[in-house]
C-alpha cells in the first residue's frame, strides 16, 4: 500500500519534481486508448521520463468509451470486431512498453455532476442530484438503450481483452459508473452496484480482469456497504488501485468532501484493504477547490488541496501498517478512564 499521484500527459517538470520531493513514488497517467493516440514508442518514452525522477509509472487510466467512435464496442454495433482489434493492438503496445495496469470505464456519457456544494471553510466540492441531471440531459441516442445488450457487448469485450492482457502482463480493470444511478440520457449505467461487479469478475476468472476501485463512486452506491465491497474484492485480488476520496452520502444525491469530512471512515477503509491483503496504490482523485489554489495538471483540485489529501493518505497508510505491531489504535476509552481515576 503506497500513495500514488495522477497526472495529465505530457507532464511538465514541476509536477514530476513535486511527486519526487514529497516521496509519492507511484505515478498514474491519464491516457491510453481513446485519448491522444499513442504508439509503443510513446509509452516507452513516458515510462522512461517518469523513471528519470526515480518514480514508477504504475498505471494508465482513461476511457475510450465516452467517445462516439467506440460506441459499437459497448452496444455491439457493426464495427465491434474491427474496433476491438484496434483496441487490443493498443493494449499490446502498452503492455509491451512495461505499463503494469490499465484502468478504464464503461460510461458512454462519461461521468457527471450537478451543482457544486460549499464544504469545509468555504471550499467547493462537486455535487450531484439525479433529478437535476435528468431534467437537463437530453437522450443520448434518441431512444432508451437496452441493458442486456450492453452486458452482452461487455462480456464479448472482457473475453477478448483478458487473454491479451495476460499475454503482455498488464492488468486491466473497470471504473464504476459515476454517478451510480440507473440511467443517464437513456443509457443504463451498468456498473452501479455490488452485484454488477460480482458479475464482471466472474466473466473471466483472472487477475487480469479486475476493478479500478474508485472508492468514491463505490461509496456513492445506494444500499451498498463500502467496507464489505472493499473486503470482498480485496480478498479476491480484484482491486488494481484505489481512488481514495470521500463523499457526503449516496446517490441519488450527494456531494464530494475533503478526504476526512465525508461519511466514509477512511481509517476503517484502509484497515479493510490491509486485512484483505491488498498491496496496491492509492490516489487522491478529486479534491475540493480551495481558495487561491494553484492549477494542478490532473483531475479536480489544485496543488494545495491535492497535497493535503496526499499528506492524509501517507499518514493513514503509515499508521495502519504500524499499528499492527501495537495491536491496533490506542484505546482512548481506557486513557480517559485512567485520567479520571
> Interface residues with another protein (CB under 8 A)?
14, 17-18, 20-23, 53-54, 120-123, 258-268, 270, 288, 290-292, 294, 303-305, 307-316, 318-320, 322-323, 326, 328-330, 332, 335-336, 338-339
Q: ∠ CA 38-310-50 to the nearest 5 degrees?
A: 30
The residue among 180 and 288 lying less far from another protein, judged by its C-beta, is: 288
Question: What cell numbers appear for 36 in the block?
Answer: 491522444
- Residue 197 CA: distances (Å) to CA of 175, 192, 284: 10, 9, 22
Residue 288 CB, nearest distance to another protein (Å)? Answer: 8
The residue among 201 and 290 lying less far from another protein, judged by its C-beta, is: 290
Residue 333 CB, nearest distance to another protein (Å)? Answer: 10
Residue 14 CB, nearest distance to another protein (Å)? Answer: 5
The residue among 16 and 210 lying less far from another protein, judged by its C-beta, is: 16
Q: Can the peptide bond before residue 132 be classed as cis, meaning omega within 30 degrees of 0? A: no
Residue 19 CB, nearest distance to another protein (Å)? Answer: 9
Query: How far is 89 from 313, CA to CA, in rounded Å?
Result: 36
The residue among 51 and 318 lying less far from another protein, judged by its C-beta, is: 318
Neighbours of 167 (CB within 10 A): 14
Residue 257 CB, nearest distance to another protein (Å)? Answer: 10
Residue 229 CB, nearest distance to another protein (Å)? Answer: 17
Q: Are 29 and 4 in contact (CB under 8 A)?
A: no
Neighbours of 168 (CB within 10 A): 17
The residue among 36 and 52 lying less far from another protein, judged by its C-beta, is: 52
Residue 319 CB, nearest distance to another protein (Å)? Answer: 4
Q: What is the dihedral of CA 288, 289, 291, 295, to 10 degrees?
A: 130
The residue among 68 and 332 lying less far from another protein, judged by its C-beta, is: 332
Residue 266 CB, nearest distance to another protein (Å)? Answer: 8
Q: Are 208 and 166 in contact (CB under 8 A)?
A: yes
The residue among 48 and 291 lying less far from another protein, judged by its C-beta, is: 291
Question: What cell numbers appear for 239 in the block?
Answer: 482491486
Quickly list H helices, 97-225: 130-134, 147-168, 194-203, 215-220
The residue among 80 and 215 lying less far from another protein, judged by its C-beta, is: 215
Residue 56 CB, nearest distance to another protein (Å)? Answer: 15
Q: Are 43 and 11 in contact (CB under 8 A)?
A: no
Q: ∠ CA 165-1-290 to the nearest 5 degrees?
A: 100
Which residues on adjacent β-strands are paired with residue 254?
Answer: 128
Q: Are 261 and 125 in contact (CB under 8 A)?
A: no
The residue among 170 and 266 lying less far from another protein, judged by its C-beta, is: 266
Axis-axis angle for helices 40-51, 80-96 (nearest 10)? 30
Amino acid at each position: 500500500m503506497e500513495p500514488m499521484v495522477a497526472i495529465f500527459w505530457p507532464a511538465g517538470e514541476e509536477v514530476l519534481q513535486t511527486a519526487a520531493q514529497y516521496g509519492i513514488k507511484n505515478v498514474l497517467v491519464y491516457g491510453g486508448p481513446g485519448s491522444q493516440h499513442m504508439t509503443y514508442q510513446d509509452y516507452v518514452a513516458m515510462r522512461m521520463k517518469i523513471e528519470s525522477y526515480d518514480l514508477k509509472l504504475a498505471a494508465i487510466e482513461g476511457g475510450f468509451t465516452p467517445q462516439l467512435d467506440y460506441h459499437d464496442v459497448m452496444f455491439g454495433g457493426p464495427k465491434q470486431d474491427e474496433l476491438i482489434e484496434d483496441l487490443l493492438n493498443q493494449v499490446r503496445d502498452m503492455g509491451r512498453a512495461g505499463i503494469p495496469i490499465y484502468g478504464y470505464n464503461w460510461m458512454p456519457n462519461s461521468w457527471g455532476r450537478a451543482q457544486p456544494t460549499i464544504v469545509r471553510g468555504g471550499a467547493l466540492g462537486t455535487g450531484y442530484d439525479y433529478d437535476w441531471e435528468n431534467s437537463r440531459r437530453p437522450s443520448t441516442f434518441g431512444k432508451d438503450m437496452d441493458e442486456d445488450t450492453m452486458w452482452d457487448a461487455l462480456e464479448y469485450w472482457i473475453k477478448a481483452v483478458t487473454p491479451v492482457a495476460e499475454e503482455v502482463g498488464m492488468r486491466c480493470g473497470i471504473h464504476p459508473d459515476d454517478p451510480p444511478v440507473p440511467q443517464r440520457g437513456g443509457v443504463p449505467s451498468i456498473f452501479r452496484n455490488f452485484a454488477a461487479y460480482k458479475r464482471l469478475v466472474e466473466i473471466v476468472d483472472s487477475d487480469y480482469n479486475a476493478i479500478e476501485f474508485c472508492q468514491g463512486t463505490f461509496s456513492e452506491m445506494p444500499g451498498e456497504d463500502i467496507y464489505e465491497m472493499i473486503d470482498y474484492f480485496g480478498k479476491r485480488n480484484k482491486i488494481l488501485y484505489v481512488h481514495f476520496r470521500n463523499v457526503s452520502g449516496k446517490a441519488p444525491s450527494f456531494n464530494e468532501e475533503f478526504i476526512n469530512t465525508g461519511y466514509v471512515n477512511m481509517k476503517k477503509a484502509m484497515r479493510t484493504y490491509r486485512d484483505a491483503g491488498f498491496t496496491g496504490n492509492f490516489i487522491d482523485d478529486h479534491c475540493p477547490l480551495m481558495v487561491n489554489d494553484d492549477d494542478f495538471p490532473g483531475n479536480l483540485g489544485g496543488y494545495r488541496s491535492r497535497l493535503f489529501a496526499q499528506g492524509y493518505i501517507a499518514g493513514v497508510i503509515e499508521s495502519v501498517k504500524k499499528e499492527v505491531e501495537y495491536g491496533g489504535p490506542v484505546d482512548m476509552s481506557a486513557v480517559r478512564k485512567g485520567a479520571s481515576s
